[in-house]
Structure 1
Amino acid sequence: MSEPKRPRRATHAWRRLRLRWIKFSQPVLGPFRGRWNNSLMVRTMTITGLVTGAMIAVAGVFLLTSVSNDLYSSRRDQALQDSARATVQAQRIIDSFDPADRGGLQSLLTSVLRTVQDTSASQMIDIRRQQNQASFPELSPVASTPSALSQAVSEELSTAVLVAEEPQYWQAVTFRGEDSKVAPGIVVGSSLKFPAGAGVFDLYIGYDLSDTSETLSFVQRTLLLTAAGMMLFIGVLVWVISRIVFRPIRVAADTSRRLASGETDARMPRQHDEHFDVLSDGFNDMADTLQARIRELDELSVMQQRFVSDVSHELRTPLTTIRLASAVLDGQQELLAPGQQRAVEVLSAQVVRFETLLTDLLEISRYDAGRVTLETEPTNLVHLVDEVVSSLRPLSSSLIEVRPLGGYTPVDVDARRIRRIISNLVGNAIEHGEDRPIVVTVDSNPDAIAIAVRDWGIGMTAADAEHVFDRFWRADPSRKRTLGGTGLGLAIAREDAAVHGGFLEVWSEKGLGSNFRLTVPRHEDITDYMSPLPLIPEEIADGAKNRDTTGGWLRRPFRRSIRAPKEGKA
């Protein structure tokens, strides 16, 4: 049998109530929830405080209930004993009266009232003829003291005294004085039998329990103050103990943070506890090992940088000699046989490639050694992109389109390095674009300028994209290269972007092409900025994956993204 559905109206009311609770509790509980999730000390103190508070509350309620019951029981028993004593004394006076003296019955009633007043600890006394009895002219039907008692006697108590199965009955009541002041109390009722046919009278004695209520209020205040003091004391105690217990953890966290920030000499002090001391010793041994390994790696890195730099410089001299010899042979090609001419052409091409490789190695060694200096000048990046693309168009059969959407205002950059980045990106797009169109987009915002190079070539997998900026890495080493290359182009391009305070990113999917995006800030003091161009192409982000292989790839996205430069945009 399926579960009955909740009514729609109830569901909407529940949702409104939940939203109101979230709106109310978020400003109050939001900061505490964050501290609760991020601090073990806060969780420990909160749980300890709640458990302690619950225990104190249970103990306080138990003590208050016990004291209240004991006080009330004691005061009630005292009132019953007092009332029984007064009733017995009054009945003795009545029994000693001469029944033949009917005229003295009124004096007897007054004497009984005075005897009860003298015998009882209370002055609230009410003597009245029982219900359903004939009137007796010689005797007044009522003799009482304050009216508050007569108002407090209930019909239930009167009926119980009338039946008289017990010597006396009591009832908890509330007395209201003439000034409307309310006081708790007890009324005890019993019966008095008068002689000479005068009948039976009910005796009610009221006992004011205001003093007991005040005593109970004093006990309540004392318990509350004691509970508050205990909670405060326990809270301070838990806080101190938590600080002591969690101190080694804070020291370990601070030491690991310092070690992670580069302070290789940071060590964890001993805490004079066998378990934490084992942790400290193990952590310090690990830090010593890491420091030794880092020192070895630094030395190896310095040696590698020096080796690359020295080898690059040392190869300059023989390379210059080979280049001069190649130039001489190239000038005498007409005197050589056809096979020798081809060898000279190959030699010249390889000498140029070797020289490019040496230049890239020297550039990488400068970055590794941290000796790179920028020669900045105001540069129009749109014109720079046009120059680079114009120089590379003759080397490609692909359609290369430049879309200047912004970036016309000159910015201070090292034009040689930016030109090298764009040449590398466009060259890679030509190399892997499968002769399909290439789009170079330039755009800007108030903080940054971006250049994106999009191709619809073979693309890369996510694993390949993670290594595309590694040195000497190729996604497919078996592919034929059109423009040559050293394998250091993208690595140098990323370093060139970083030295400008920018970043170089890539998006790529197998069969959908690639998109490289360069973003640089407009000024050196801008450290927080957003790229004006998306990294993931619009047609991919919108889910439009049209794989038209007829040469007009993704023509709809092409036309959709073409638009004039934004008016007034830098």
Structure 2
Amino acid sequence: MLHVRSPVGSHRLPESLRRGLTFWRRSIQARVVASTLVLAAAVISVVGWFLLQQTREGLLDHRVEAVVAEAKDETTGARELLEASRQTGNDAVQQQQDLAGVLIPRGLTRGFSVVLVGPAAPGTRIADGGLNKTSGLDTSSVPLTLEEHFDDESSTAWTYTTIRSSHEGVTTETPGIVVGSQVRLPADSETYTLYYLFPLDEQEETLALVTRASLAAATLLLVLVAGMTWLVTRQVVTPIRMARQVAERLAAGQLQERLKVSGEDDLARLATSFNQMASNLQRQIRQLEELSRVQRRFVSDVSHELRTPLTTVRMASDVLHDARDGFDPATARAAELLQTELDRFETLLADLLEISRFDAGAAVLELDDVNLVDVARRIVDATRPLAQQRGVQVVVDAPDQPCLAQADVRRVERIVRNLVTNAIDHAAADGPDGIVVRVAGDDHAAAVAVRDYGVGLAPGEASMVFNRFWRADPARARTSGGTGLGLSIALEDTHLHGGWLQAWGRPGEGAQFRLTLPRRAGGVLRHSPLPLVPTDVSEPVS
């Protein structure tokens, strides 16, 4: 058979990522520190953003007040200059150039640029011409909205802008504030507009410095918060981690392990209570182990000690049974009953010895490739006299090809025999359906299911049928001569193979027992080739 390997490895996560995810899932300390850092980062970001906004608004408001006041002073000085030049002449162009010749150099020394445009009229713009400006200044630095303001009003106005200038072919853009005012030239009595453009270089540098300082402080604060959170959680997580380790060692059988108790806080009291619990559990487990050991020893000793007298009684019973033809009818019947009960007693003794081996952990497997189809047919042939005595028909529903599994053939035959004889005991006598033994397998598992149509199982009894000496109906006779240990031994044999032995039943609809074994010894079962609930059972209407 050709098996195609699924390309699972190509979709696996990298080893480092898988280790990181495993560490994240298992470490409370890491999750607490990470959560605290995320929350702290969110809080610091909100607070930092608010502080930066307040700082920015404060710097800009202060700068606006300063530049508006300075622009008003410059405009007042310009008006005084124009009033003084009223007597010198009536040349408007000359007055305009004289005014620009005073304001532009003064602006260069005080760090602002000047644009003088006019005469002003509604709808006229800087682009229409007739202006004087600081060398290298791009007139697009004056926003159109501010120009439109002076179409209707003559009051001083300001707005934010981007100052664009060119020096030696290099264009620069700087955030700034532009303030507009209007003056009247005496020469032509026309209104001219002055635009003062103040850069915000210092405020931008101050805000950048504050931002860098805030980021550095936030980073340091996050590191401190992470360190403090790690230290605080360590004080809580370390005792919990120690308790986990001790609990794992206790679960592994090291019952003498205890937690170290230091201090009188809640964790110390928890450690004290944990140690008391461990001591009580150790004492109870030791008592149970001793009782179990005594019980196993008792069963084993009694079973072995009974073999010698049982052999003697068996020899005497065989003699009486062989000579029963010469006895009177009552004595002959007694000899037959004695032989039957001795057979049952020997079976019970063998079962008790087998149970004692399971309890002592001495049971071992003799593995071989077992064909479950052959096993099912052999068991059905062996139990046919008993089935005929009960008026029950047993049939095998199996595939033609072998259904192999690595198992102990003796134990598997014992499991199937117990299931079939149990089904014969509980099947409906002279029923039309009888008992069906089904065999199926796949690439990973092989299964045998025994279906009967007898009294069935009440709710909750499917988990009890494998208990020792348990009976669904204590008044019901064991026609197969069973001892009440067959299903318990079958369950132990199944566990020894690493398989499943499960039961299903419903009152009046019979029962089904399913044995599932891995194809290879040591394999892990994930499913069974046969359903536990028979396909011929109708689901109840809710």
TM class, shorter-length: 0.7 to 0.9
Larger CA deviation: 454-463 vs 314-323 = 314-323
SS for the counterpart of 1:539 is: coil
Residue 68 of structure 2 corresponds to residue 74 of structure 1: no
Amino acid across the alignment from 1:510: P
Partner of 2:181 in structure 1? 190
- The answer to whether residue 427 in structure 2 is matched with residue 427 in structure 1 is no
Aligned-pair CA distance for 1:494: 1.4
In structure 2, what residue type is equivalent to 1:477? P
1:235 aligns with 2:226: yes
Partner letter of residue 71 of structure 1? L
Quote the offset at 1:197 in angstroms: 5.1
Alpha-carbon distance in 2 for matches of 1:347, 1:509: 37
Distance 2:447 2:385 in 1: 25
Structure-2 separation of matches of 1:493 and 1:500:
11
CA distance in 2, matches of 1:36, 1:180: 53
CA distance in 1, matches of 2:188, 2:444: 114
Residue pair 1:122, 1:205 contacting (<8 A) in 2 also: no
1:346 aligns with 2:337: yes
TM-score, normalised by the number of residues in structure 2? 0.84
Matched, 1:59 2:47: yes
More displaced, 145-154 or 385-394?
Answer: 145-154
Structure 2 equivalent of residue 288 of structure 1: 279
Tell me how far apart the structure 2 counterparts of residues 326 and 318 of structure 1 sit (CA, whole Å): 12
Q: CA deviation at 1:317?
A: 2.1
Distance 1:160 1:446 in 2: 88
Q: Percent identity?
A: 37
1:328 Cα shift? 2.2
Seen in structure 2, the aligned counterparts of structure 1 residues 159 and 432 have a Cα distance that, compared at 3 Å, is: closer
AA aligned opposite 1:65: Q
Q: TM-score, normalised by structure 1?
A: 0.80
2:502 maps to 1:505: yes
Deviation at 1:155, TM superposition (A): 5.8
Alignment partner of 2:235 out of 235, 244, 268: 244
Following superposition, the deviation at residue 225 of structure 1 comes to: 4.3
Distance 1:313-1:72 versus aligned 2 partners, 3 A rule: same
Say which SS state the counterpart of residue 265 (structure 1) adopts: coil
Runs of at least 5 residues in structure 1 that lack an aligned partner in the other structure: 1-29, 134-139, 546-570
CA contact (8 A) 2:177 2:199 kept: yes
Q: How far apart are the structure 2 equivalents of 1:309 and 1:336?
A: 38
1:145-224 aligned at under 5 Å gives the runs 145-146=134-135, 148=137, 150-154=139-143, 157-158=146-147, 166=155, 168-178=156-166, 181-195=172-186, 198-224=189-215
The aligned counterpart of 1:126 is 115
Write out aligned runs for 1:11-410 (5 A).
40-41=28-29, 44-97=32-85, 99=87, 101-102=88-89, 107-120=94-107, 121-122=110-111, 124-132=113-121, 142-146=131-135, 148=137, 150-154=139-143, 157-158=146-147, 166=155, 168-178=156-166, 181-195=172-186, 198-270=189-261, 272=263, 274-396=265-387, 397-405=391-399, 408=402
3-state DSSP of counterpart to 1:323: helix
Checking the alignment, whether the CA contact within 8 Å between 2:499 and 2:525 is kept in structure 1 is no
Q: Which moved more, 1:466-475 or 1:265-274?
A: 265-274
**Larger CA deviation: 150-159 vs 384-393:** 150-159
Unaligned runs of 5+ in 2: 1-17, 123-128
Q: 1:471: how far off? A: 0.8
Deviation, structure 1 residue 96? 2.8
Quote the residue 1:454 is aligned against.
Answer: 451
Q: Which amino acid aligns with 1:502?
A: G
Change (3 A) 1:164 1:364: closer
Once the two structures are superposed, residues 386-445 of structure 1 have per-residue CA deviations (whole angstroms, 9 ceiling, x without a partner) of 222112111221111012226726655433322222221111111000123111122222
Letter in 1 for 2:517: V
- 1:369–1:146 CA distance, 2 compared to 1 (3 A): same
Report the aligned-residue RMSD: 3.2
Q: Look up the SS of the partner of 2:383 in the other structure.
A: helix
SS at 1:462 equivalent: coil
**Is the 8 Å Cα contact of residues 406 and 444 (structure 1) preserved in structure 2?**
no
Task: Supply the distance in 1 between the matched residues of 2:375 and 2:86 (Cα, whole angstroms).
Answer: 138
SS at match of 2:536: helix
Contact 2:357/2:363 (CA < 8 Å) preserved in 1?
yes
Q: C-alpha offsets along residues 344-398 of structure 1, whole Å, 9 cap, x if unaligned?
A: 2212211221121111111111111122233445544333322221121112211
- Flag the 1:94–1:487 CA change in 2: closer, same or farther, 3 A: same
